Structure 1
Amino acid sequence: MPDTGLGEASGSQLTQRGRVSSSWTRDGDAVALSTTIPVNVSAVVALPEAPEGVAYEVSGPDGAEAEELGTEAGVTSYRIGSGEWSFTQTEDTPDPDAPISVEVPSVKGDAVVGGRLRADDGEWDPAGATTTVQWLRDGAPISGATSWTYRPKAADVRARLSAEVTAEYDGTTATASSEPTGRVVKATSTVRASVRPGSVRAGQRVTVTVRVGAHGVQPTGTVTVRSGKAKRIVRLRNGRASASFRANGKGWKVVRVAYAGSDAVARSGDRARYRVR
């Protein structure tokens, strides 16, 4: 488009396929063009090469895109289809670079049911990037686990956990993941058994009270209580259970208690004694 001193021009031409029309304006070195192409027709539009730091913003019908054919001898060409098109020179702002993980995220804590894991987002460039976290179980997202702390549960047993951190800066995002933890293990349980009364006559009944505890999780399931040949299997309620026996024979008697464990808590046991007079 030679510099003839014109600031704008327009025109149209009736062709066998329909009317082609176009108009352009020039403001200094800035050029804008609008054109209409008949139905089922394609055309090549030739425009002056945009100055450095400037690009053509192309708008087509219903979101259609123009095919840029390249620039040669100061002319940039586009192939377009039918409909109304506009070409406007705008400042060419490069897309911002996505954040870069300088120091990978990490996870601290014990990989045990009821324990507490905490994710650290690492270090990102630029430092102003905002970060969010998603906990992963064997590489798959855990539904709702988007806090920086996470308590492993029964579903995590024998799995490896990791934290995937997403950094966002100026509309761009990047992700980085921590090294996975060791395999999650069940919570350790403690069993405490007591017998009341501690001293009875033969033929009287004694009651064995069992308390099962575990850090960060409520034990469930059953305990087996044995006294001599007698056996009771009772279910825990709020971590407690009890069983009664009739005392037989004289001397010290041993009560053995075995907690069977659960999906989240490991098994364990205890002993208690009582005396038959």
Structure 2
Amino acid sequence: MLSKIALALTVGVTATLFAYAAPAAHAVDFVAVGHSPTTGTPVPGAYVTADLGTWSEPPESYEFQWLRDGVAVPGATAQDYLVQPADVGHQLAPHVVGHRGSDSASFTGTPVAVRKIGAQVSLDVRRVHPRPDKRRLVWAAIGTVALERPSATDGSTITAYKKKDGHLKPLGTGVVTRGFAVVRLPWKRAPHGRTKVMLCYGGTDVVASTCSPVDVVRRPSSR
């Protein structure tokens, strides 16, 4: 009798164990959970790069679309984007789509403000002959433009100013060729001493204009 009861209990417990099914694990939703800032220098001719983001599960593939002020830029569908002159003054941001199996998720990256290429100007003042057929020496300034990244500056201008009666009076203007411009200055005599000149670069459609005060030491020629 006891053996029959034990057998019945064994069969009952075994049947109960086989009948129990563990609850199914909850599937993790595929979502973007964060991203790092967009990288690169946002000036024409340079690249900006979209961050790949952080996801609940690793994506199997990505899609990219660059936005200018929230509007898709035609053809800009790579992780890297070459900044164009038309982007100056606008915001660029990448829209990133991740795919995993049949699931997709997306995020819009950090926007960057596109600016013109930065420039600096310097001045080297010297006495030169204006033309070979003239003997009298005149004052001239050689202005130099230095850029944060290469860009064409030919045809732009450098102008020297002198402050007079609270206003800037132009002394002369030169056209830039290969980063240099010769500015003729209207000085008839060159007494000893120091004078302040404001040197301004006019800029281009992609290079920023800039002005710098310059101390010019004038010394009389021995001739």
**Percent of counterpart pairs with the same letter?**
25
Aligned amino acid, residue 244 of structure 1: R
> Which of structures 1 and 2 has the larger relative contact order (alpha carbons within 8 angstroms, sep 6+)?
2
Call closer, same or farther: CA 1:224–1:125 in 2, change over 3 Å.
Answer: same
Q: Does the residue aligned with 1:120 lie in a helix, a strand or coil?
A: coil
8 Å contact 2:58–2:100 — kept in the other structure? no
Call closer, same or farther: CA 1:105–1:176 in 2, change over 3 Å.
Answer: farther
TM-score, length-scaled by structure 1: 0.52
Aligned partners of 1:145, 1:238: CA distance in 2, in Å? 32
Determine whether 1:161 maps to 2:92. yes
5+ unaligned residues in a row in structure 1: which ranges? 1-96
RMSD: 3.5
**2:32 equivalent among 86, 101, 118:** 101
**1:208 equivalent among 129, 138, 141:** 141
Aligned partners of 1:141, 1:108: CA distance in 2, in Å? 19
How many pairs are equivalent?
177
- Name the structure 1 match of 2:178: 238
Map residues 1-277 of structure 1 onto 2, 5 A cutoff. 99-104=30-35, 106-113=37-44, 117-150=48-81, 152-170=83-101, 173-181=104-112, 183-197=113-127, 203-218=136-151, 220=153, 221-226=156-161, 231-245=171-185, 247-251=187-191, 252=193, 254=195, 255-270=197-212, 271=214, 272-277=216-221
5+ unaligned residues in a row in structure 2: which ranges? 1-27, 129-134, 164-168
The structure where helix makes up a greater share of residues is: 2
Aligned partners of 1:162, 1:170: CA distance in 2, in Å? 26
Cα deviation, residue 239, structure 1: 2.5
TM-score, length-scaled by structure 2: 0.62
Call closer, same or farther: CA 1:176–1:234 in 2, change over 3 Å.
Answer: same
Aligned partners of 2:162, 2:190: CA distance in 1, in Å? 13
Cα deviation, residue 128, structure 1: 4.1
